[in-house]
Amino acid sequence: MFNYRFQWKQAWNRLPEMLDGALITMQVAILSMILGIVLAILLTLFRRSGNRVLSGVATTWVEIARNTPALFQIYMAHFGLAGIGIHLSPYSSLLLGITFNNAGYLAENFRGALKAIPDTQPRAGRSLGMSDLQAFRFIVLPQMIRISFPTITNQMVWAVLMTSLGVTVGMNMDLYGVTQDLNALTFRTFELFAIAAVIFYVIVKIIQAGAWLISRRLFRY
Amino acid sequence: MKVSLPSIAAIATIAISGSATADLLDDVISSGTLRCAVVLDFPPMGSRDADNNPQGFDVDYCNDLAKALGVEAEVVETTFPERIPALVSGQVDVAVASTSDTLERAKTVGFTIPYYAFENAVVANEGVEMADWEGMKGKTVGATAGTYEAIWLEGKVKEWGEGEFRPYQNQADVFLALSQGQLDATVSTVEVAEANVESGKFPGIKIVDKAPMVPDYVALITLREEQGLINYMNLFINQQVRTGRYAELYKKWVGDGEPADLTIPGVYR
Amino acid sequence: MFDTALTANDFIFLAKGAGMTIFVTAISVFFGTILGIVFGVIRYQLGPFWSAPLMFVLDIFRSIPLLIQLVLTYAFLGTVLRLGMSGLTVACIVLTLYTSAYCAEIVRGGIEAVPLTLRRAARSLGMTWAQDMRSIVLPLATRVALPSWIGLALGVMKDSALVYVVQVTELLKSTQILITRLQEPLLLLMICGAFYFVISFPVARFGGYLEKRWSND
């Protein structure tokens, strides 16, 4: 029917290399999420702090992360920072770029989530003798995470998909980088990228299933 | 409406046999345009002039080929990793893109005889102690993803078992990273290395040594099954050398000196 | 720091790239939204079971990197089917479907946010399904969905930076072409980033304003 002959075997033989790449992809995504959540909580605190400098820094961060392409952020993390003398490996640049993006988006979402938590609650905590930070830690934070949980899951999926942008900063260990390397060797574009697509799909499904399990365990009312 | 399977098969057969009688060579001549994939961040083979129009050795070769065929040339810019997808997806008819003729790639696309041969040089950041090419061992090195020298260099790094290899998406990023000190060294064609060192746009880089690789023979490529066009281009490449056009373009884009030898002693072709 | 070899010509070149970014975004958001509304309504009307095949397909667009979607579609339409489509067409097709996949979810969420009792009331007043959809569901669902939709449209604009893989010279690609020639990466990247920011930021702020205004009534 088609003029094109599929050569699945040639691509299939490379599966082990691609699976190794998938592990790196997962690793970058998970690390960037952990760091991203911690930073997003910090940014949220900064924005609530009332300190002009701190909240200015946080707002700038959030707006840049949300209003420029992720590709641009990752590229800047590598070549931009090097322009002022900070040299990061492709792995660190990619991790930094995605973390920056994650933190920005999550911080914005956390802000929305906070609105759903009545101000009276932390005040009640304060009157029970909690410090400001304790009230945030024990009363606000758990609810905030619970409300934002679907968004956190989505951002995690995004983080996985964003690892594919690492190739622009010389990353060749992740799934997309490995696939591109193999493509340069064999020129079997369709077959290789189809396999990569399936692997990405499976990773995303695993994450969504995991998130569902976690939410069932943690958030039973 | 019910359509029987045999009738679909019959239509498909007609469609296929209809397209099989005219090959790509015929299509190009009758369409009046030759679409060439050219990499334009690879001076002096392909780059852009001050008005951002394509120029370079490969661009001229595309124009010459179109002229020989009696058609208009259309230059389609691709990067190294993207040139084959552009070809196999029918965006372009041929790629005049300094494509190294490896056996692995020949499984997918059709190569002509070589039309140019590169020698490769090791370029290092001035801050790095490096006497010859073996000094790259254990260093952070990089090259343009999808190129012959990248494949070679990555192989070397794996063989040495130390150091790090980074493929960037284009030549400019490689030299930017080298100039910034993110890379200790790179391997690129002598032509590109000299052009970049002389331009002064990348401060702090120097040519260290020639890379000990087999000369990188590059060929024109088209679809694997288009033997008619491949034959035509083989003759075209031969004629370019015979008529002195090859030497002329070498002088125009690369400089004085002997143009690279395209024959390999001791073997038929 | 800012003595540059950038000429007026180069700015026109960049502006052309920016125009391409806006063009691709506009086409994809327009058709993607129409498709997304259709898919979203189908999803709502058929229920989770019967719409499962459609949802499965749309979910794929949300679970695979856009870069791979573009490369694969390009390779499939071109290499396998030999349709000879231009990269721009492929970019618009993929981005349209990509937009519709996200838009369908937003639309469904919007419809579900309209209280069922309100719709039953409308139907018992003698409204047809179409009238109910147009006069009751559309205005109320739009209020819920519009802020997310603005976010989506801006997301598509930023994601359109990836269509460079199918040979479309949009803003980021034109920036890279100039970087190659002029070797002034930082300045050029700043200009490029500023452009995205200048478009995205006011629209995002406007979305935030709408969200705030509409949620407090």
Both tokens of C25, joined, read 């975004």
Both tokens of B209, joined, read 């040594």
Q: Are the beta carbons of C161 and A205 separated by less than 8 Å?
A: no
Angle at C136 between CA C132 and CA C137, to 5 degrees: 90
Choose among C72, C81, C193: nearest Cβ to A68.
C193
Residue B232 touches chain A, beta carbons under 8 Å: no
Residues B173, B135 share a domain:
yes
Helices (H), B123-221: 148-160, 171-180, 190-199
Residues B113, B172 share a domain:
no
Q: Which residues 6+ apart lie within 8 Å of A71 measured at CB?
A: A165, A168, C161, C162, C172
Residue type at A101? N
Burial annotation A93-113 (CB, 10 A radius, 16+ → b, else e): bbbbbbbbbbbbbbbbbbbeb
Cβ A11 vs Cβ A193: under 8 Å: no
Residues B131, B107 share a domain:
no
pLDDT at position B145, please? 86
pLDDT at position B20, please? 46
Tell me which DSSP letter residue C135 carries.
Answer: I
Cβ C42 vs Cβ C51: under 8 Å: yes
In a domain, B263, yes or no: no
**What's the mean pLDDT when you consider all of chain B?**
85
Shortest distance, CA C8 to any CA of chain B (angstroms): 10
Residue C197 touches chain A, beta carbons under 8 Å: yes
Q: Topology of C8-215 in CATH?
A: MetI-like fold (1.10.3720)
Cβ A14 vs Cβ A182: under 8 Å: yes
Q: Are the beta carbons of B145 and A181 separated by less than 8 Å?
A: yes
Whole-angstrom distance, CA of residue B191 vs CA of residue B119: 8
The residue of chain B nearest to residue C185, with distances taken between CA atoms, is B176
Cβ C90 vs Cβ C160: under 8 Å: no
Q: Which residues 6+ apart lie within 8 Å of B185 measured at CB?
A: B122, B123, B124, B125, B128, B130, B135, B136, B139, B141, B178, B208
DSSP strands (E only) in chain C: none
Q: Are the beta carbons of A184 and B80 separated by less than 8 Å?
A: yes
Interface list for C 119-178 with A (CB within 8 A): 154, 158-159, 161-162, 172
Which residues in chain B have their CB less than 8 angstroms from residue A90's CB?
166
Shortest distance, CA B253 to any CA of chain A (angstroms): 27
Residues B223, B100 share a domain:
yes
Q: Are the beta carbons of B145 and A180 separated by less than 8 Å?
A: yes
Of the pLDDT bands very low, low, confident and very high (cuts 50, 70, 90), residue A3 is low
ipTM: 0.84
**Choosing among A74, A174, A193, A207, which should be mutated to test the C contact, i.e. which has the most C CBs within 10 A?**
A193
- Mean per-residue pLDDT for B240-263? 88
pLDDT at position B262, please? 87
Residues B91, B33 share a domain:
yes
Q: Compute the residue count for chain B.
A: 269
Sequence spans of domains, chain A:
19-172
Choose among C76, C79, C197: nearest Cβ to A67.
C197
SS3 B55: strand
A and B: number of Cβ contacts within 8 A: 77
Which residues in chain B have their CB less than 8 angstroms from residue C68's CB?
none
Q: Does domain A19-172 have CATH number 3.40.50.300?
A: no
Give C204-213 contacts, CB < 8 A, sequence gap 24+: C204/A63, C204/A66, C204/A67, C204/C150, C204/C151, C204/C154, C206/C150, C207/C146, C207/C147, C207/C150, C207/C151, C207/C154, C208/C147, C210/C146, C210/C147, C210/C150, C211/C147
Residues of chain C with pLDDT under 70: 1-5, 79-80, 82, 84, 215-217
Give CA separation, B88 vs A112, B16, B37, in Å. 48, 18, 11
The residue of chain B nearest to residue C181, with distances taken between CA atoms, is B48
Residue A153 touches chain B, beta carbons under 8 Å: no
- Helix A189-218 and helix A141-162: axis angle, to 10°? 170
Residue A164 touches chain C, beta carbons under 8 Å: yes
- Mean per-residue pLDDT for B237-250? 93
Shortest distance, CA B170 to any CA of chain C (angstroms): 9
Of the pLDDT bands very low, low, confident and very high (cuts 50, 70, 90), residue B24 is confident
Residue A190 touches chain C, beta carbons under 8 Å: yes
- Helix A141-162 and helix A90-115: axis angle, to 10°? 140
Q: How many domains does chain B have?
A: 2
pLDDT at position C178, please? 84
SS3 B108: coil
Of the pLDDT bands very low, low, confident and very high (cuts 50, 70, 90), residue B4 is low
Give CA separation, B19 vs B22, B23, B34, in Å. 6, 8, 19
In a domain, B95, yes or no: yes
Of the pLDDT bands very low, low, confident and very high (cuts 50, 70, 90), residue B18 is very low
Calculate Rg over the CA atoms of chain B. Answer: 21
- Mean per-residue pLDDT for B3-31? 62
Choose among B16, B151, B168: nearest Cβ to A184.
B151
Interface list for A 44-103 with B (CB within 8 A): 78-79, 82-83, 87, 89-90
Q: Are the beta carbons of A68 and C158 separated by less than 8 Å?
A: yes
Burial annotation C29-45 (CB, 10 A radius, 16+ → b, else e): bebbbebbbebbbbbbe
pLDDT at position C188, please? 86
Whole-angstrom distance, CA of residue A101 vs CA of residue A67: 10
Report pLDDT digits (tens) over A68-121. Answer: 999 889 988 988 888 778 889 999 999 999 999 999 999 999 988 888 889 899
In a domain, B5, yes or no: no
pLDDT at position A49, please? 83
Interface list for A 60-119 with C (CB within 8 A): 63-64, 66-72, 75-76, 79-80, 83
Give CA separation, A132 vs A48, A136, C29, C51, C94, in Å. 11, 6, 45, 49, 49
Residue B68 touches chain A, beta carbons under 8 Å: no
pLDDT at position B130, please? 85
In a domain, B268, yes or no: no
The residue of chain C nearest to residue B37, with distances taken between CA atoms, is C167
Residue A200 touches chain C, beta carbons under 8 Å: yes
Cβ B121 vs Cβ B189: under 8 Å: yes
- Mean per-residue pLDDT for B63-75? 94
Interface of B with C (CB under 8 A): 40-41, 47-48, 50-52, 76-78, 82, 85-86, 88-91, 170-172, 176, 199, 201-202
Residue B71 has pLDDT above 60, yes or no: yes
Residue type at B17? S
Residue B145 touches chain A, beta carbons under 8 Å: yes
Choose among C63, C193, C204: nearest Cβ to A66.
C204
User: Pairing between strand B120-125 and B185-189?
Assistant: antiparallel
- Mean per-residue pLDDT for B126-135? 86
Residues B35, B109 share a domain:
yes
Tally of helices (H runs) and strands (E runs) in chain B: 10, 12
Cβ B32 vs Cβ B71: under 8 Å: yes
Report pLDDT digits (tens) over B106-115. Answer: 888 899 999 9
Shortest distance, CA A84 to any CA of chain B (angstroms): 9
Q: Which residues 6+ apart lie within 8 Å of A55 measured at CB?
A: A46, A47, A48, A49
Cβ C173 vs Cβ C17: under 8 Å: yes
Whole-angstrom distance, CA of residue B193 vs CA of residue C130: 68
Residues B193, B140 share a domain:
yes
Choose among B16, B105, B177: nearest Cβ to A170.
B177
Residue type at B144? T
In a domain, B38, yes or no: yes
B145: containing domain: 120-210
Partnered with residue B124 across adjacent β-strands are B185, B206
The single residue listed with the structure tokens 């609810």 is A143
Report pLDDT digits (tens) over A132-185. Answer: 888 888 999 989 988 899 999 999 999 999 999 998 888 888 999 999 888 877
pLDDT at position B7, please? 52
In a domain, B14, yes or no: no
Choose among C67, C71, C189: nearest Cβ to A75.
C189
pLDDT at position C84, please? 65
Cβ B166 vs Cβ A172: under 8 Å: yes
- Quick one: residue B204, left, alpha or beta (phi over 0 = left, psi -120 to 50 = alpha)? left
Partnered with residue B110 across adjacent β-strands are B222
In a domain, B100, yes or no: yes
Shortest distance, CA C143 to any CA of chain A (angstroms): 17
Residues B79, B145 share a domain:
no
Residue A194 has pLDDT above 80, yes or no: yes
Sequence spans of domains, chain C:
8-215
Q: Above pLDDT 90, what percent of chain B?
A: 34
Q: Are the beta carbons of C65 and A200 separated by less than 8 Å?
A: yes
Q: Are the beta carbons of A169 and B150 separated by less than 8 Å?
A: no
Shortest distance, CA A49 to any CA of chain B (angstroms): 38
